[in-house]
Amino acid sequence: MLGGNSDCHGQNYTSGARPKAATAGVVALAGLLIAGCGSSTGPSPTQTPVDQAQLQRLYKNAANAYNTAEVPLAQAEYGYCVAASPPGNLMKCETALSQDRQATIAYDNSLRGMVLPAGAKADVAKLLSDDAQLETLLQQASTAPSLAAVTALTPQIFNLITTTNADANRLRVDLGLPVATPLPTATATPAA
């Protein structure tokens, strides 16, 4: 029902489409991908540019890790975050939304670690900015007092998902990759 980015990116969220269902458990990996920050007394090492094929591989790895995490999250969000859904469950919904946020953060951290060509820097900056807004809404939804409160945030979340989908596709083109193809799913469309 709710959730992170589109390609992160390979799905079209404008219709509420999400990846096909898969087993849960992969999502815990997303939180582990976030590295801790440390301090250094010396200068920061400079990153070495990589060739386009290697950069494409790095991006695809980041996108695939995100998509793998999103598959079971989308199923959990749809099953638990819809108040009209028989198994609607606020605690499980909040857990799924929180893990969705962590998967988005992990994807963004992967992007930050890449040495991108100058032509891609504006597009990745926009994607990261829009993802930050999405992460804030996912955080709000993951601590909502009721499923009705989650539902109230849904239109804003879907608007940002549409935006981040377009951002990710622009970045894919910058990197010489094709625009992401939506994956078929069995999730409902968002409420208007």
pLDDT of residue 48: 65
Q: Please report whether residue 148 resides in a domain.
A: yes
Indicate the burial class of 101 (C-beta count within 10 angstroms; 0-12, 13-18, 19 or more).
Answer: buried
pTM of the model: 0.72
Domain range for 66 is 51-174
State yes or no: pLDDT of 42 exceeds 50: no
Is the residue at 123 inside a domain? Answer: yes
Q: Minimal CA–CA distance to 147: which of 69, 105, 87, 103? A: 87
Q: Which letter, b or e, does each residue of 114-145 get, where b requires 16 or more Cβ atoms within 10 Å of its Cβ?
A: bebeeebeebbebbbebbeebbebbebbbebe
pLDDT, tens digit (0-9, with 9 covering 90-100), for 70-110: 889 989 988 899 877 677 899 999 999 999 999 999 999 99
Alpha carbons 27 and 39: distance in angstroms, whole number: 29
* Contacts of residue 49, Cβ cutoff 8 Å, sequence gap at least 6: 115
For residue 43, being part of any structural domain is answered with: no
Domain membership flag for residue 169: yes
Number of structural domains found in the chain: 1
- Asked whether residue 28 is domain-assigned, the answer is no
Assess if residue 154 is contained within a domain.
Answer: yes
Q: Is residue 149 domain-resident?
A: yes
Which phi-psi region, left, alpha or beta, contains residue 128 (left: φ > 0; alpha: ψ -120 to 50)?
alpha
pLDDT of 6 strictly over 70: no
**pLDDT for res 106:** 96
Using DSSP, state whether 189 is helix, strand or coil: coil
Which letter does DSSP use for residue 35 in this model? Answer: P
3-class secondary structure, 28: helix
Give the span between the Cα atoms of 27 and 73, in whole angstroms: 7
At residue 182, the pLDDT reads 65
**Helices (runs of H) and strands (runs of E) counted in the chain:** 5, 0
Mean pLDDT of the chain: 76
For residue 33, tell me if it sits in a domain. no
